[in-house]
Structure 1
């Protein structure tokens, strides 16, 4: 049975970065946690820190989201252990990439498999649970880069994040009874993934600040949210409407 004051949140890619910080912030809000990631040593350390700080129940599992069978098994095991999963955050991702046709096909393929095919597997498994329960909140973590095509090393990454946003919209159109679907478009939030680009990136915000905005939007069950709202809401509006010639100079 679920004995949590608020409910149970399952987060993938929870061993570092945005996933780790979301776990910490959801626990501080009273949620129990089902956390998974490939790096179990780091994941277990995160879980231990959260238990010590909040006293919340935290369960962990090793998971490579590119393994569709493992995704279904891990999600179902969590559902069995907790009795119910109230929210599933599809967060696991990578940011590798190279300009197409320059020999970086392995990095691009890895990003596509993890970010989109992995997200598809997670969404399938999540909705099996939610349909059975009759309720649930699916949260898909996209990116501001999803709003327009991006060039060079960002091309494949942006395409995968656009695919995630399209998945979310399709599910909202389906209007599954009892199921809310949110897509979150983070701007530049400090994380392990973007550490190499921090020095040359404008508008980068601290992980805690950025994730606080993400969690607030998730808690409101917004259909879509650009976070942090400033400056990413106006930037998002501009990206949607500016000519490609201007986008080329901005990215």
Structure 2
């Protein structure tokens, strides 16, 4: 059987789905017959993406305005998947914020925002989906970390890297705890073309990051890696995928 057929009919919840990696993944998986449940704060963008997916006539798309820093929002997004499609196969914890600045700038508000989105947002997703996966005795968590979760991104990426190291640690612990019937995949992308690079209020850091991201590859590159993990047979768990632009040294 063609492995891509393993995606058809699956119900996939995606956070941060209004642009970039989340949007690209939603479009790719829906083109392969998945039913996607889109969450993000920008409702107008979600509506447009869902309409375009539904017009294609393959997988279906629904959406719900979601702020991953609010636990009840994330729970409502998971509930939407169950109410619309009767099951949940995959949760893609994708929403993220990258605020790059030296620690000496003491941008505590941005540190807290990254912790709330990048770490607590993932935990809220796990908390909402895990009981469903355990009841079904099946499911797949896909958590987006970063190359910066393997090596500290410098200069200015100390806290961002801290949050992405945390995502890797949580993912690995989750795999140990629930593996057997529930799969866990961590994706660690390098420079991917998205809005992530504009997340800082520190001008010098933004200028550095924008220049660094000139080597970025399209978000579709990560979407294909996610599809690869999902389409494997149930007894194959792709635990970790690291991908970068060929030009990226870091």
TM-score by length of structure 2 reads: 0.84
RMSD of aligned residue pairs (Cα, Å): 2.2
Q: Which runs of 5+ in 1 are unaligned?
A: 236-249
Please state whether the residue corresponding to 1:11 is helix, strand or coil: strand
Question: Distance between the aligned counterparts of 1:160 and 1:58, measured in 2?
Answer: 30
Question: Distance between the aligned counterparts of 1:77 and 1:116, measured in 2?
Answer: 22
Cα distance change of structure 1 residues 208 and 74 upon mapping to structure 2, 3 Å threshold:
closer
Q: Is the 8 A contact 2:149 2:164 kept in 1?
A: yes
TM-score by length of structure 1 reads: 0.84
Question: Distance between the aligned counterparts of 2:32 and 2:80, measured in 1?
Answer: 24
Q: Deviations over 1:146-193 (max 9, x none)?
A: 012334431111111110110110011124442001111111111111
Match of 1:223 among 215, 239, 245: 239
Report the more deviating stretch, 59-68 or 93-102: 93-102
Report the more deviating stretch, 175-184 or 43-52: 175-184
Question: Distance between the aligned counterparts of 1:53 and 1:101, measured in 2?
Answer: 49
Question: Distance between the aligned counterparts of 2:213 and 2:127, measured in 1?
Answer: 35
Q: Which runs of 5+ in 2 are unaligned?
A: 1-6, 199-205
Residue equivalent to 1:84: 87
Structure with higher RCO (Cα < 8 A, 6+ apart) = 2
Residue equivalent to 2:223: 211
Please state whether the residue corresponding to 1:194 is helix, strand or coil: helix
Q: In the alignment, does 2:58 pair up with 1:69?
A: no
Question: Distance between the aligned counterparts of 1:92 and 1:58, measured in 2?
Answer: 18
Q: In the alignment, does 2:174 pair up with 1:171?
A: yes
Residue equivalent to 2:4: none
Question: Distance between the aligned counterparts of 1:199 and 1:45, measured in 2?
Answer: 30
Question: Distance between the aligned counterparts of 1:182 and 1:82, measured in 2?
Answer: 23
Please state whether the residue corresponding to 2:238 is helix, strand or coil: coil
